[in-house]
Amino acid sequence: MALKAIKPESKEKRLKMFVFGAAGIGKTTAAIQFPKAYIIDTEKGTDYYAKTIGKSDSVVLQTNVFDEVISEVKSLLTTKHEYRTLIIDPITQLYNSVQEKWTRVFEKHAKTEKEAEVQDFGMRYWGRVKSDFKTLQRMLASLDMNIIVTSHQKDQYGNGMQKIGVTYDSMKGDDYFYDLVFRLENQKDKRVALTVKERAEPGEQKFPPEFEWSYSNFLKFYGQNIIERIAIPIAMASEEQIKEFKTLVEIVKVDEATISQWLNKADADSFEEMKSDQIQKCIDHLKTKIKGIN
């Protein structure tokens, strides 16, 4: 059996970053410096910046309903539009929204009244929460836009409840998904970004350990041609493809393990999350299999 691994090639990637900082530090005002932005405002922080947002040709959707955000990101992923950057400000409220959503579901189906009261639903509950969040992350990874996700900041404690620093207030491990993580501070009269993480070849980091936050600096460090290029929509699996795929799966009697393998390879949780070319390959494979049987 032939080995499938190939030598990796450098790829030009969109700017995808996670930003956190203390309350009042200016996370919103920092993020909206990016022009032509599609801003998902989860706590109405943009109410005070209508003029700034208007001048930069940006728009705002105010919602903290997770399913609505998923629907909106899917539209940005699959339709042609003029926006260059997606801002989710802050992600903390969406994480709370997902927990509330599944808390209501698990309370409704709790085995005992006590279980519903203490809300100790165990690993199945957290599995659902994480699954929803992973769905959003997969869509953001595929989205041909710059991504700025902000988060509240919280204290971090070690042994004996001793404060050892600060961290973001979102799902544990949320920072692993992003190529860049910055913490914002105000130093004198400047808003400064501290580089917490940058994925890059050793010695080839684009961002210094500390720099003044400004749109011009991001153009300088990351590249104007990447940050300001037009977004290219992605064709997702159509209703017709999904219907045909499900029919073929029934005819061929594909087992669950194989379906899970296909979904994992497509980095999807469901057929609806597969890209058009991915599901078409599965359809063509099943059709070939049926011809062989006949």
What is the pLDDT, as a whole number, of residue 121? 62
Determine the 3-state secondary structure of 212 from DSSP: strand
Question: How many whole angstroms separate alpha carbon 278 and alpha carbon 237?
Answer: 8
pLDDT of residue 189: 85
CA distances from 193 to 57, 76, 182, 202 (A): 25, 28, 6, 21
pLDDT in tens, 64-90: 898 899 999 999 999 999 999 999 988
Residue type, position 204, single letter: E
Which tokens in the block code for residue 154? 């919280």
So where are the chain's domains?
A: 16-227, 239-293
What pLDDT, on the 0 to 100 scale, is given for residue 254? 84
Flag whether the pTM goes above 0.85. no
Neighbouring-strand partners of residue 40: 61, 88
pLDDT for the residue 115: 55
Q: β-strand 210-212 against 59-62: which pairing, if any?
A: unpaired
Number of Cβ within a 10 Å radius of residue 162: 7
Token match 């709790």: residue?
110
Secondary-structure class of domain 16-227 per CATH: alpha beta
List per-residue pLDDT tens for the chain, 294 residues long. 677 777 777 777 889 999 988 888 888 989 999 999 999 999 888 888 999 999 999 999 999 898 899 999 999 999 999 999 999 988 888 888 888 888 888 877 766 555 555 456 677 887 888 888 888 888 898 899 999 999 888 877 777 777 777 777 777 777 788 899 999 998 888 899 999 999 888 888 999 999 999 999 999 999 999 999 999 998 888 889 999 988 998 888 888 888 888 888 888 888 888 889 888 998 998 888 887 766
Strands 190-198 and 210-212, sheet pairing: antiparallel
Q: Return all residues near 191 (Cβ < 8 A) that are at least 6 apart.
A: 25, 26, 29, 30, 184, 185, 212, 213
Element (H, E) at 68: helix 66-78
